[in-house]
Structure 1
Amino acid sequence: MEEFKEFRCGCGNTESVVNARRLFTVLLCLDRFLRSPESHLKVTNAGKWSSLVKIEFFIQYLEKLVNMSEVRKRHLDVTDTSDKTNETESDQKEDIDSEDDKTPEEKYVDEIAKAIPQGTDKTPEVLDTALKGFSARWRNWIIRGIFTWLMIGGFGLLIYGGPLALMVTTLVVQVKCFEEIINIGYAVYRIHGLPYFRSLSWYFLIASNYFFYGESLVDYFGVVISRTDYLRVLITYHRFISFCLYLVGFIWFVLSLVKKYYMKQFSLFAWTHVALLIVVTQSYLIIQNIFEGLIWFIVPVSMIVCNDVMAYVFGFFFGRTPLIQLSPKKTWEGFVGGGISTVIFGLMISYLMCQYRYFVCPIEYSETLGQMTMECEPSPLFRPQEYTLPESLSGLLQLLGMKSTVTLYPFLLHSLSMSIFSSVIGPFGGFFASGFKRAFKIKDFGDVIPGHGGIMDRFDCQYLMATFVNVYISSFIHTASPQKLLQQVFSLKPEQQLQLFHTLKDTLENRGILNLT
């Protein structure tokens, strides 16, 4: 009976009821043989897809096939014209996607969940042995706490390493988050045996990073790069090269389309672009925030960390009232406790960092030093300012013998805005991720961090916060940087620089700002 272990079925094209019945009889015999635990059936349909299936599934399939064939035979006896019409309609239906291809099938969701590694409960063997005596609740609390402090310590080391270390880490985190999101799509895509989804996704990631990070290099290192002849072309035609790279991926995708799966492939094409929007675009904004000064990166990131940790702590000990259905473990007690803690923590860390130039100075290229520098005269935003309190409050303070003015760093007011956003709006990044995971019945995006899950599980709120900070800076903080303007001037040709110099000189003299006499 060894010859029955692999059976190739071409019954999809069978026209004869007799042949179908014979095949049905053969499979009944195979059913008896395949009930032994050592045996299995491998079915290949037209060489396009392959999977292990139960024999009962094919018996039901053939029963339907026999019934359909009998109906078709009776229909052929009635009229040949009607048959041709049905064949035409059948061919048309084959050219479009079926309803199953328009939405993810429920039967595939469980398979997808199994394909994605789940890491919240995954712990090192040493910890697993040491915590055997604890209940599952406290065991998770301890593991989560240990790796939370390890991540905080690692973040501190990265800050000590400087801007370059933070930028490289941002890139690494971006790649890992993208991988975790794409792995879910790949689990869906692989079920149909269609080619190139993973390769195309990574290609688009590379092309997107070339564009976004190239933009940063042009802005901040354009003068240095343009001094090298063979790199000057990359500066001049950066956007055109980026567009050509995208076109290659676009054409590649079109050529990879497979009949009957167009809807699924276009859905996953959109999946890739949404992942790029969520991960790559916002990673680029994080890099922009770092260039504005480390304080614009460290403070928002720390606020999200504080809110996440304190919401978990308050929810663990005091949580009673569910907050949102998408995330049943989140409670109002944790939400409020985490929010208040974040506001207090944000003001404290902002006050501390405003006192050091290392954190407040933007990262700029110095033409004099010939290198990137973080030395500057702090802007008024990071210098103590005296503010007069409202009359109603100042009168009361005077009665108490206290000053009617208060001195503080203006950045603290902006810090208050960021802390409120991270407390009230920031968690919705996590809720969005929870809804995404629930759609595919998975608990975590990955298993990289014991007690936490994947990288994306920890950075879902960070990306939303980074976008807010970048928009906030450009809307309420950002002013023209003389150093950045000089970068653009130095990138001009010598004759253009001279023309700009004489034009600026004449303008300043006419306005009385410059007096050379």
Structure 2
Amino acid sequence: MWELRHRGGGGPGPGGEAASPPREGEAAGGDHETESTSDKETDIDDRYGDLDSRTDSDIPEIPPSLDRTPEILKKALSGLSSRWKNWWIRGILTLTMISLFFLIIYMGSFMLMLLVLSIQVKCFHEIITIGYRVYHSYDLPWFRTLSWYFLLCVNYFFYGETVADYFATFVQREEQLQFLIRYHRFISFALYLAGFCMFVLSLVKKHYRLQFYMFAWTHVTLLITVTQSHLVIQNLFEGMIWFLVPISSVICNDITAYIFGFFFGRTPLIKLSPKKTWEGFIGGFFSTVIFGFIAAYVLSKYQYFVCPVEYRSDVNSFVTECEPSELFQLQSYSLPPFLKAVLRRETVSMYPFQIHSIALSTFASLIGPFGGFFASGFKRAFKIKDFANTIPGHGGIMDRFDCQYLMATFVHVYITSFIRGPNPSKVLQQLLVLQPEQQLNIYKTLKTHLTEKGILQPTLKSLIFPIEDE
């Protein structure tokens, strides 16, 4: 706990205790306040006034998290130094998490989406909890309720957009869903406005600044977690390979940079993360690029990984069946002169996606770590070691996914800039939602266009009655 300095004479008298601020759901004020209520509000104002005027050096240290390492591991590693004990704990838990990740991949794309949603909610909880502890925000009226309410609103908006884009054929069969999809953005905006009005009504005199701190804290957290997790799912719909190669590249970079830094690290890399070294950074870079190139080659062979994830209403499930695009078909490439002499061959066969994997893994190893440095700066600013103690030896979920969110944004931008073309399946889904008259007009327009280009032969009826046919 940390000591609050009371300004002026508004504090409690000797031997007295400060009155508690209003709890969640209590009224923020009224026209008929008693004298005791006024004194109570004065104490609250003094308390939060001090919170508002604090500098970075005044931020209280949050008590260290409890050690959740299983007892069986503690006993097995009791004879090791703390350095090697941490090494083994991190290694064992890393292998466990990777094994579970493989299992979820095997279970299919829908389970991966649920995994992304679960991670998003946990990351949001960890960051918001830090705000609670640092600013003692548990006593702010409605803050906890509003934080989670805004999370639900933003998820409703983003996932509703996804449903409208990828589940159009399913929505077409359900009249209730048609209403929700047609007015989805209006409903989302109305829900957000309700939360906004609730926030304004919860404002308490003389500590508005603290409440706006936490309002901004919530929205920045939503931007980091919800928006990025939505992009992860958008990448997944493009094909599981666009989900797996970037994520596994970041995981590979984390592991190999840690290994190279642990055994060979001598030169500090950045002050924000004193344990990060140039040796680990460089070793992680080369390892990640090689890993990404090999992983792209292996995954490109299977339709399960390369085909876009689509919802099929006839089987009521997600399917990954298609004719692989040129990105995932072997091509012959001429080697540069210096490689011809080394490899003693003129050409090499590989998948075009492997070239893109070099760009993805390069970003994962050179720019991705800056997401981790950003998280380190955040933790230093608030005097905490980890976001939480969810995973022994690793910290919280956010400690493991600080680089993944930055990677997800890059992959989405990369796909939209260099890869994605018109998606016939998505266009067809949108056409099926239209009214029959609109579909017929589009059919006639498309037929006329294809006939003029010579792709379709004009029918005898259209030659005799061109006006009627139109």
Normalising by structure 1, report the TM-score.
0.79
Aligned equivalent of 2:310: 364
Aligned equivalent of 1:470: 412
TM-fit CA distance, 1:402: 4.1
CA distance in 2, matches of 1:180, 1:371: 33
Matched, 1:321 2:267: yes
Aligned equivalent of 1:303: 249
Pairwise mapping of residues 106-145 of structure 1 onto structure 2 (< 5 A)? Answer: 106-110=57-61, 113-114=62-63, 118=65, 121-145=67-91
Amino acid at match of 2:350: L
User: Compared with structure 1, are the counterparts of its residues 144 and 234 closer, same or farther at alpha carbon in structure 2 (3 Å cutoff)?
Assistant: same
SS of the residue aligned with 2:17?
Answer: strand
TM-fit CA distance, 1:188: 3.1
TM-fit CA distance, 1:258: 1.0
SS of the residue aligned with 2:358?
Answer: helix
User: Compared with structure 1, are the counterparts of its residues 125 and 393 closer, same or farther at alpha carbon in structure 2 (3 Å cutoff)?
Assistant: closer
1:168-189 deviations in Å (ceiling 9; x for gaps): 0100000000000000111134
SS of the residue aligned with 1:133?
Answer: coil
Aligned equivalent of 1:83: none
Q: Is the 8 A contact 1:220 1:484 kept in 2?
A: yes
CA distance in 1, matches of 2:316, 2:432: 13
Matched, 1:443 2:385: yes
User: Compared with structure 1, are the counterparts of its residues 191 and 205 closer, same or farther at alpha carbon in structure 2 (3 Å cutoff)?
Assistant: closer
Normalising by structure 2, report the TM-score.
0.87
TM-fit CA distance, 1:49: 7.7
TM-fit CA distance, 1:198: 1.3
Aligned-pair identity in percent equals 58
Amino acid at match of 1:231: L
CA distance in 1, matches of 2:311, 2:68: 45
Matched, 1:216 2:162: yes
Q: Is the 8 A contact 1:189 1:197 kept in 2?
A: no
Counterpart selection for 2:194 from 243, 248, 252: 248
TM-fit CA distance, 1:190: 2.8
Amino acid at match of 1:382: F
TM-fit CA distance, 1:489: 0.4
TM-fit CA distance, 1:118: 2.4
CA distance in 1, matches of 2:409, 2:10: 55
Q: Is the 8 A contact 1:226 1:235 kept in 2?
A: no
Aligned equivalent of 1:427: 369
CA distance in 2, matches of 1:363, 1:155: 18
Q: Is the 8 A contact 2:59 2:382 kept in 1?
A: no
SS of the residue aligned with 2:18?
Answer: strand
Matched, 1:101 2:52: yes
Aligned equivalent of 1:380: 326
SS of the residue aligned with 2:136?
Answer: helix
TM-fit CA distance, 1:389: 3.4
Structure 2 gaps of 5+ residues are 1-5, 24-41, 460-470
Aligned equivalent of 1:43: 17
TM-fit CA distance, 1:191: 5.5
TM-fit CA distance, 1:506: 0.7
Give the root-mean-square deviation of aligned CA atoms.
Answer: 2.5
SS of the residue aligned with 1:44?
Answer: coil
Pairwise mapping of residues 250-265 of structure 1 onto structure 2 (< 5 A)? Answer: 250-265=196-211
TM-fit CA distance, 1:199: 1.0
TM-fit CA distance, 1:516: 4.7
TM-fit CA distance, 1:192: 7.7
Indicate the structure (1 or 2) with the bigger Cα radius of gyration.
1
SS of the residue aligned with 2:167?
Answer: helix
Aligned equivalent of 1:160: 106
User: Compared with structure 1, are the counterparts of its residues 99 and 411 closer, same or farther at alpha carbon in structure 2 (3 Å cutoff)?
Assistant: same
CA distance in 2, matches of 1:304, 1:413: 17
1:401-425 deviations in Å (ceiling 9; x for gaps): 9442222100000000001000100
Matched, 1:339 2:290: no
Of stretches 401-410 and 181-190 in structure 1, the one that deviates more from structure 2 is: 401-410
User: Compared with structure 1, are the counterparts of its residues 49 and 370 closer, same or farther at alpha carbon in structure 2 (3 Å cutoff)?
Assistant: closer
TM-fit CA distance, 1:264: 1.2
TM-fit CA distance, 1:203: 0.4
Amino acid at match of 1:301: I
CA distance in 1, matches of 2:326, 2:119: 34
1:138-161 deviations in Å (ceiling 9; x for gaps): 110111110000001011001001
SS of the residue aligned with 1:375?
Answer: coil
CA distance in 2, matches of 1:241, 1:191: 30
Aligned equivalent of 2:297: 351
SS of the residue aligned with 1:329?
Answer: strand
Q: Is the 8 A contact 2:132 2:138 kept in 1?
A: no
